[in-house]
């Protein structure tokens, strides 16, 4: 689950890195995905009217405790996390191939 969660955060960060020019943009985007995702998931778990908002958060799908308690991975959540990472990588690769890295 940790690998899938890392891929989920790394894919979009790589896409922002490929599209942007500054390191601050990448750091800001990664922190935003992480912090906002955590906050939205926390609020959605605590407040019933906001419950549907938990699905866009990566923290809803990252449940390593379930794997420890039940002895198996939650394959649906694992697939969602990897799919988000793959989508970010899919956006980043064409942008990086077009980018001129010469000074």
pLDDT band at residue 100, thresholds of 50, 70 and 90? confident
Are 3 and 84 in contact, with CB atoms under 8 Å apart?
Answer: no
Q: Which residue has the higher pLDDT, 49 or 67?
A: 49
Average pLDDT, the chain: 90
Confidence tier at 3 by pLDDT (50, 70, 90) = very high
CB neighbours (10 Å) of residue 78?
Answer: 18
pTM above 0.75, yes or no: yes
Query: Residue 65 pLDDT more than 70?
Result: yes
């Amino acid at each position: 689950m940790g690998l899938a969660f890392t891929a989920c955060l790394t894919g979009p960060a790589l896409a922002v890195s490929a599209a942007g020019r500054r390191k601050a943009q990448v750091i800001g985007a990664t922190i935003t995905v992480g912090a906002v995702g955590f906050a939205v998931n926390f609020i959605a778990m605590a407040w019933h009217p906001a419950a549907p908002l938990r699905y866009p958060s990566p923290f809803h799908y990252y449940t390593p405790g379930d794997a420890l308690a039940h002895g198996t991975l939650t394959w649906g959540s694992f697939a969602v996390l990897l799919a988000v990472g793959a989508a970010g990588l899919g956006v980043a690769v064409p942008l990086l191939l077009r980018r001129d890295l010469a000074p």
